[in-house]
Amino acid sequence: MVVLLEGMCPGLDKDLLRSLRAADIRTVEDLVSSDIEDVAQKCSVSYKALLSIRRVLLAQHTAFPVSGADLYEELLSSTAILSTGNPSLDKLLDSGLYTGEITELSGGPGSGKSQVCFGVSVHIAHRLKQSVIYIDTTGGLTASRLLQMLQTETDNTDEQMEALQRIHTFRLFDVCALLDCLYGLCSGGLHKARVGGGSVKAVIVDSVSAVIAPLLGGRHNEGMSLMIQVAAALKTMAKDFSVAVLVTNHVTRSGSGEVQPGLGVSWSHIPRTRILLERVETGACVSRPGRRRVTLVKSSRQACRIKEDFDLQRWSGADGEAPSGKRKLDQADP
């Protein structure tokens, strides 16, 4: 709803505004939907003037159609695929996190969602040398764990410090603070975060269900509306600034008893790719407590329900100690 204000466009002066309000036209939508001849007679304004005001307002507030060819060109040049650092996860995600999309990682308590997020941010900050925005809503982020993960990647303390500087963290615990933070990022925060070196390529929200789930259910629809607003803010940020958004979610059990991602049906349309993380329950698990199984639940690029196993303790997947040789260089596609 955009309210008509004086000076919004040439020709919209105080007198015209007053006569429009008297004719019950208060917003841009009202003016655009009304019959111009009728209104011109009622407000005793020239038909041509009102028509040109309508055209200008429409041009200012509408979304412009873009040709498919131009859109494709733009996407080709601005989309990148960010490797997560873990080869099994990359295989599942069709080589990594795509910018311009929301990827959702869901799992039960203790399944390792935050650890996966740490691994991804450390990889992007250290190997790909790009900035990461980490929004923590559970209080689970500690810099010492990030440092520990960095120390397995490199021994050089300067490099470790540089990588840590590229990870910008926000700690918030309710949905209004989250919306504030996202709007702030969209309107300039992302550019400011560039100063540390490397533009922001990933935004991780761990976890989005912690702030939204308490609002759902009950008789009021505020919760659903806030959830859709958060989703819209994340999508706009992903598309307009070409960043990859990774969100985490909890799990619930469906009617037939199987595990599924939480936040309900209305949220399920929001992420483009969804993966489900679980512990591997086998008898001989004692020696490898970090084993996890990840399943692809929704994807527009690969067949669903493919599974991959990996070890949380060995994020880069290399079994040996030697860092060179076998390890592939992960680089973002230009």
Partner 1 sequence: MAESGTQLFARLEARRCLKDIEPRLFADDGGPDHGEVVELYGPEGTGKTELLYHLLCRCVLPVAAGGLEVDVVFVDTDYSLDMFRLVSILDNRLNAGVSTSLTSARSNDAALRSCLSRLLVVHCCSSSQLLLTFHFLETTLSSRPSVALLLIDSISAFYWPDRSEGGASVTRQEEKLSKCSELMARLLRDYRITIFATCHTIRRSSSGPSSSSSASEPDRSYLCRSWQRLVTHRLLCSRQEAENKLAPADGGNRELRSRQVFSVHCSSSWMGTKASRVSSFTVTDGGVEFT
Q: Which residues contribute to the site for partner 1 (CB under 8 A)?
A: 1-2, 27-29, 32-33, 36-37, 58-59, 61-69, 71-72, 75, 79, 221-222, 224-225, 227-229, 231-232, 235-236, 238-239, 254-256, 264-266, 268-270, 272, 297-298, 300-301, 303-305
Query: What are the Cα distances from residue 116, in Å, to 31, 94, 284?
Result: 51, 17, 23
Apex 161 CA angle, 156 and 167, nearest 5: 135
CA dihedral 158, 118, 99, 234 (to 10 degrees): -120
CB of 154 to partner 1, least distance (A): 34
Measured from the CB atom, the residue of 71 and 176 that comes closer to partner 1 is 71
Q: Quick count: other Cβ atoms within 10 Å of Cβ 202? A: 27
- The three-class DSSP label of residue 169 is strand
Measured from the CB atom, the residue of 94 and 174 that comes closer to partner 1 is 94
Measured from the CB atom, the residue of 34 and 199 that comes closer to partner 1 is 34
Distance CA 321, CA 324 (A): 9
CB of 177 to partner 1, least distance (A): 19
Distance CA 4, CA 30 (A): 9
Whether the CB-CB separation of 121 and 167 falls below 8 Å is answered with yes
Measured from the CB atom, the residue of 75 and 285 that comes closer to partner 1 is 75
CB of 60 to partner 1, least distance (A): 9
Residue recorded with tokens 């070196």: 197
CB of 58 to partner 1, least distance (A): 6
CB of 332 to partner 1, least distance (A): 16
Measured from the CB atom, the residue of 13 and 240 that comes closer to partner 1 is 240
Q: How many residues does the chain have?
A: 334
